[in-house]
Amino acid sequence: MAVYDLSTPMAEDAVRSLRVGDTVYLSGIIVTGRDAAHKYMVETFIRPAAIPESERALYEALRRWLAGSAIYHCGPVVRQREDGRWEFVAAGPTTSIREEPYQADVIAHFGLRGVIGKGGMGPRTLRACQEYGAVYLHAVGGAAVLMADTVREVLAVYKKDEFGIPEAFWVIRVEGLPLVVTMDSHGRSIHAEVRAASEAYLRRLVGAST
C-alpha cells in the first residue's frame, strides 16, 4: 500500500497505477453529485439521441469539469457569505450504492477517473473502472467538517433551485482531500471481498449450529 498526491485532471496511467488499499490525497477541481444528479445526467445527456438545446450549456460545462476528474457522492451543508460566494460547512460522503444503476454510464460518457463516496459500489461500476481506467475512492464517514476543510473554493453550482442544495452539482476546488482506494482498475473491490468473506463465515456458523 502506497500514498499518492494526485491532482485533477488525472492521467489514465496514474489512476491505473493505484491499487486497493492505497491512500490518495486529492487536489484540484471535482464535482458533487447524488441521486438526482446521476439520474439527470443519464436520462438527459447519455440515453437520448440528442441533447436538449436548453440543457446544452450545462452539458458542455459538465464535460469540461468532469473529464479526468472525480464525482463526489456528497450532499454538502453550505452557507452563502455576504459577498454572495458559497462555502462548504460540511462535506461528508453519502452512500454510493444508490448510484450503481447510473455510475458506469457516467464514467464512460464523461471520462471520469474517480468516484468518491462511502460503502462501495457494485459489479457494473467495477467493470467500468477496469475498462475506462477509473477508481472508487472511499471517503471517511462521520468527518464531514474535516472534509469541508479541504474545500478551498466553490467555483460554480448547477441545478440548485431545481434539485435542492444537497442534490445540486457543486463544482469545488479541494486541496489534500484524504481518500482510500477500495475499488481499482485491476478488478479488485475490497467491498466485494469483505462481503464474500462474511458470507462464507456466516455459512460456517450456520452449518456448525445445525
Per residue in 108-167, pLDDT (tens digit) is 999 999 999 999 999 999 999 999 999 999 998 888 999 999 999 999 999 999 999 999
Spatial distance between the Cα atoms of 3 and 111, rounded to a whole number of angstroms: 24
Residue by residue, DSSP assigns 129-188 as HHHHT-EEEEPPTT-HHHHHTTEEEEEEEESHHHH-TTTSEEEEEEEEEEEEEEE-TTS-
What total of structural domains would you count in the chain? 1
- Which positions ≥6 away from 80 have C-beta within 8 Å? 86, 87
Here the CATH number for the domain that contains residue 144 is 3.20.130.10
What backbone torsions phi and psi does residue 126 show, to the nearest 5 degrees? -60, -40
**Over 90: is that where the pLDDT of 194 sits?**
no
**Over 90: is that where the pLDDT of 202 sits?**
no
Read off the C-alpha cell for 100: 450503481
pLDDT band at 191 (very low <50, low <70, confident <90, very high): confident
With a pLDDT cut of 90, the percent of the chain lying above it is: 88
**Over 70: is that where the pLDDT of 6 sits?**
yes
Which tops the pLDDT comparison, 165 or 199? 165
Report, as an integer, the average pLDDT of 179-184.
97
Strand partners, 102: none
Report, as an integer, the average pLDDT of 32-45.
97
Report, as an integer, the average pLDDT of 50-70.
97
Q: Which amino acids are annotated catalytic?
A: 38
pLDDT at 30: 98
pLDDT at 123: 96
pLDDT band at 209 (very low <50, low <70, confident <90, very high): low
Spatial distance between the Cα atoms of 88 and 65, rounded to a whole number of angstroms: 19
Q: Which domain holds residue 42?
A: 3-209
Strand partners, 178: 25
pLDDT at 210: 59
Q: pLDDT averaged over the chain?
A: 94
